[in-house]
Amino acid sequence: MTEAAQTPNRPQKTILRALAGETQAVPPVWMMRQAGRYLPEYRATRAQAGDFLSLCYNPELAAEVTLQPIRRYGFDAAILFADILLIGQAMGSKLWFAEGEGPRMSTVTDAAGVAALRPAAEVHETLSPIYETLKILKGALPSETTLIGFAGAPWTVATYMVAGRGTKDQGPAHEFITRDRAGFAALISALEAATIEYLSAQVEAGAEVVKLFDSWAGSLKGQDFDDFALKPAQRIIAALKARHPNLPIIAFPREAGDRYIGFAKATGADCVAIDNSVSADWAAENVQKDGCVQGNLAPHHMVEGGEALVSETKRIVKAFSKGPHIFNLGHGITPDADPENVHRMLEAIRG
């Protein structure tokens, strides 16, 4: 246990204790995409909303689906139900979801397109329902449950804004960098400013922790990783902590590999979430030495279940047992997961 964790003023919620650097005998746990299509109650509420974006922008229903996995499983944290691309929509890009195919956006492919985006100060008009969701959750969650807000990191959101959809290798964004690095940097800068405003407003509405999802960070290499993943996270975290000095922040540069090493120190993040392409033993040795680590059970275990789920869960808990750890998946739980496997995972963690 760290010195900070022993003080009378230490946080009482288990997630906040881990983020403050405390090693706990039983790690706190939540799951990425824990409110989602694998739950029948989610599917019923989604049908009531009509479509995905209507669900995101309906504060009562968005709060309901956020609360559903807390009621069912008693996770240590609830994460706001929203989508990483809402920030792009708030900046002026058109956003819609094609059934069975995922998000679609109008494209931003040059400096003129970047210049036409709305300034950061104007995103709140579109995003105000998200803040209302957080206010509802702040009053509805159990007292022991931490409320997490989030945003997509600039690089990941930019890849969708440039391509107009998700892509296998983020090729259109990489092509934009090659063609006009300054123009692409301007897009990243605009997203940084909007993300700071968005996350700050989430904190003011009740979020106790925020997480920055850089889902496609792994496709950035060398200087590009520094310029478009690490430095934007550094600037966003510094700005948020200047406004909210005690705010814990989780960074998730997914599939960063060796670049996970030192990421917390370089960016000021209180915790680094890791995916399941790296082992827990490696991360304990190389990443956890700098502070809290979140992760990293492979999501396929939530589909397959069985003894492999139990043994792998216990192995990860043991690997991270000598430092601060938040148990989570290496990425989001998938729609084909068995809800009963979540109970099995929790039993393996909590005993």
Which amino acids are annotated catalytic?
Answer: 33, 37, 46, 83, 160
Apex 344 CA angle, 338 and 347, nearest 5 = 155
- The DSSP output letter for 329 is E
* The token pair that represents 48 in the structure block: 């009531």
Residue 201 near residue 131, CB atoms below 8 Å? yes
Rounded-to-integer distance, Cα 18 and Cα 20, Å: 5
The residues facing 29 across adjacent strands are 327
User: What does residue 146 show for φ and ψ, rounded to 5 degrees?
Assistant: -80, 140
What is d(CA 20, CA 270) in angstroms, rounded to the nearest whole number?
8
End-to-end alpha carbon distance in the chain: 21
Report yes or no: 92 and 108 within 8 Å, Cβ to Cβ. no
- What is the rounded CA–CA span in Å between residue 322 and residue 246? 25
Return the structure tokens found at 212. Answer: 């920055």
- What are the helix (H) ranges across the chain? 14-19, 40-49, 52-56, 59-73, 86-90, 111-115, 124-140, 154-163, 171-179, 181-205, 222-225, 231-243, 263-267, 280-286, 301-304, 306-319, 339-350
